[in-house]
């Protein structure tokens, strides 16, 4: 009698669903943001070691990254990964009403996609595969990466440049559904595009030289910038000037096609008072998404000139810091089709029982009449990759090769990679009504609402990893396609080498939690510039 190892893997996930749910709640409630996911990373490291994995902490110079490995024999190496960063300003408790998690500001971090469930889905698939390897003596190596700061496309370009994705036979990348038609499907040909992330840091370090001939020596005042004298505009003025100039330039940089975007956030300012003192330091970050690197370079050139002009106007110097240079994605139809075949076996997630009760509570909170079947149909329906591709291509120009943004793309140049999407809870809305952001954030933390996605994804990921380990013909097909698309594999004529040529941007004032006498609070720490003055 032939043993159905796949059925055993599915049964393992079902048997461990309570553990996976509990673990997801832990990461979800940490709600730690980019580059500051200390507790989340530590949890995974501890858990992986308890499961028998060798773990390198702080991989590639990133304190909240890790690289884990478990081997049995000399078979192929396969990989999946966890993300666990949350988003500032999205602190929402798992409740059917708007409220931050207990004891925190609503401006603290919270999971939106949610990456907590993304990571736990990969972890569930990994452990299910390991259990089958141990039970049936399957040879090979399991790799599991901890990937911080996805929201700024942070770790994967750095891991790629440092060789952490080399030597793999296949990679499974998963993300909760976030846009239609990419729900319960796999990317086919049109993968996510490239991305640049930069920080412009403005420093006003010589305010006394703002007006030539007017200063301490000329006026006799003991304070160079007395209250009765003109002061240098300073760093805050530089940032606001750049903010406005860039918005003006954005309307003229590129035609409004190809779904390119330029988004900004003011990271930190020098916290000057309302006194006659110029702000000494301020930073603004820009995220650039476009279908090609050429378009990104054109955008960056305009932003560089804008920063120089703003610095000159505000009597500041300016320095540009790289946060991310991420390559576009590379398709692999063989990987996508096999993974989707496994998803067909598993079936789409189902949201019923307590999940419906939770949805109805939210609808009543928003003065809506509860809908009998409150979740959108797409999250409970399978979508063949080819059909998802057709629907997606209908929304973008024919010349465009990539669409939307995510940094799994850097993995695709190092091994055959699939991008899997599973439906997460999203509610139907009456005509003319849009749910506020807190709703999906809350649903991502409610067990009966998010657990169906985690279980479906874990099963599908596990089956795909198992195939990569046991099916030599499948591996050969995925590798042949990878070699064809790269012009000969890694280093081939059409292969894209890593773009990352910068260190991990961990020293910037990314927001974080701190412990105080009052408990845990949300704060923005000092910058690398501050630390340079420490003795």
State how many domains the chain has.
2
Question: 349, 423 in Cβ contact below 8 A?
Answer: yes
- 297 plus 217 within the same structural domain: yes
Neighbours of 238 (CB within 10 A): 31
pLDDT digits (tens, 9 = 90+) for 347-386: 999 999 999 999 999 999 999 999 999 999 999 999 999 9
In a domain, 522, yes or no: no
In a domain, 187, yes or no: yes
- 19 plus 165 within the same structural domain: yes
What pLDDT score was predicted for residue 2?
73
Could you tell me how far CA 473 lies from the centroid of its own chain?
A: 33
Whole-angstrom distance, CA of residue 326 vs CA of residue 292:
11
- 164 plus 288 within the same structural domain: no
Q: Could you say which of 291, 326, 361 is where a domain stops?
A: 326
Which residues of the chain fall short of a pLDDT of 50? 213-218, 526, 530-535
Q: How far is CA 62 from CA 56, 311, 377, 502, 525, in A?
A: 11, 31, 40, 12, 17
In a domain, 448, yes or no: yes
Listed residue (125, 116, 161, 118) closest to 143, CA to CA: 125
What pLDDT score was predicted for residue 265?
87
What pLDDT score was predicted for residue 217?
45
In a domain, 366, yes or no: yes
What pLDDT score was predicted for residue 231?
74
In a domain, 15, yes or no: yes
- 350 plus 262 within the same structural domain: no
Q: Name the residue range of residue 284's domain.
A: 196-326
Find all residues with CB under 8 Å of 301, minimum gap 6, and list them.
none
What pLDDT score was predicted for residue 107?
86
In a domain, 525, yes or no: no
- 453 plus 380 within the same structural domain: yes
- 332 plus 306 within the same structural domain: no
- 482 plus 379 within the same structural domain: yes
- 100 plus 171 within the same structural domain: yes
Residue 454 belongs to domain with CATH number:
3.40.630.10
Residue 258 belongs to domain with CATH number:
3.30.70.360
Question: 351, 380 in Cβ contact below 8 A?
Answer: yes
What pLDDT score was predicted for residue 268?
76
In a domain, 506, yes or no: no
Q: Could you say which of 446, 468, 486 is where a domain stops?
A: 486
In a domain, 520, yes or no: no
Q: Could you say which of 292, 326, 360 is where a domain stops?
A: 326
- 183 plus 229 within the same structural domain: no
Look at the alpha carbons of 285, 158, 145, 41 in this order and tell me if their dihedral is positive or negative. negative
């Amino acid at each position: 009698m032939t043993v159905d190892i796949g059925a055993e893997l599915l049964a393992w996930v079902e048997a461990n669903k309570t553990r996976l749910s509990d673990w997801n709640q832990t990461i979800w409630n940490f709600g730690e943001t980019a580059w500051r996911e200390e507790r989340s990373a530590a949890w995974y490291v501890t858990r992986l070691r308890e499961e028998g994995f060798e773990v390198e902490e702080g991989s590639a110079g990133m304190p909240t990254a890790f690289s884990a490995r478990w081997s049995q024999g000399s078979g192929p190496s396969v990989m999946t990964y966890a993300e666990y960063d949350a988003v500032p300003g999205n602190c929402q408790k798992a409740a059917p009403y708007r409220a931050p998690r207990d004891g925190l500001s609503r401006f603290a971090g919270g999971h939106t996609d949610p990456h907590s469930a993304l990571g736990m889905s990969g972890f569930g698939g990994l452990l299910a595969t390991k259990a089958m390897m141990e039970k049936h003596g399957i040879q090979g190596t399991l790799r599991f990466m901890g990937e911080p700061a996805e929201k700024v496309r942070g770790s994967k370009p750095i891991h790629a440049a440092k060789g952490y994705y080399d030597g793999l036979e296949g990679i499974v990348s998963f993300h909760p559904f976030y846009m239609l038609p990419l729900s319960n499907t796999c990317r086919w040909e049109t993968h996510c595009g490239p991305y640049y992330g930069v920080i412009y840091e403005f420093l006003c370090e010589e305010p006394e030289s703002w007006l030539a001939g007017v200063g301490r020596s000329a006026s006799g005042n003991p304070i160079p910038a007395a209250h009765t004298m003109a002061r240098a505009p300073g760093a805050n003025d530089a940032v606001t000037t750049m903010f406005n100039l860039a918005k003006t330039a954005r309307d003229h940089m590129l035609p409004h096609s190809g779904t390119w975007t330029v988004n900004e956030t003011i990271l930190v300012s020098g916290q000057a008072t309302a006194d006659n003192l110029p702000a000494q330091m301020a930073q603004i970050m820009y995220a650039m998404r476009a279908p090609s690197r050429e378009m990104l370079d054109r955008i960056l050139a305009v932003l560089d000139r804008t920063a120089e002009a703003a610095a000159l106007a505000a009597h500041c110097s300016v320095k540009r810091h790289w946060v991310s240079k991420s390559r576009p994605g590379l398709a692999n139809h063989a990987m996508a089709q096999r993974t989707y075949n496994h998803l067909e076996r598993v079936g789409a997630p189902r949201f019923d029982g307590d999940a419906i009760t939770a949805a109805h509570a939210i609808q009543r909170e928003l003065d809506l009449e509860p809908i009998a079947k409150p979740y959108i149909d797409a999250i409970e329906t399978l979508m063949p990759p080819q059909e998802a591709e057709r629907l997606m291509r209908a929304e973008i120009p024919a010349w465009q090769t990539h669409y939307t943004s995510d940094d799994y793309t850097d993995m695709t140049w190092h091994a055959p990679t699939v991008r899997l999407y599973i439906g997460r809870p999203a509610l139907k809305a009456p005509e003319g009504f849009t749910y506020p952001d807190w709703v999906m954030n809350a649903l991502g933390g409610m067990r009966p609402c998010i657990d169906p996605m985690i279980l479906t994804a874990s099963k599908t990921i596990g089956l795909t990893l198992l195939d990569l380990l046991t099916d030599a013909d499948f591996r050969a097909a995925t590798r042949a396609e990878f070699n064809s698309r790269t012009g000969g594999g890694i280093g081939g004529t059409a292969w894209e080498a890593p773009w990352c040529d910068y260190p991990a941007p961990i020293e910037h004032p990314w927001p974080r939690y701190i412990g105080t006498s009052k408990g845990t609070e949300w704060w923005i720490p000092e910058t690398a510039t501050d630390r340079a003055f420490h003795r």
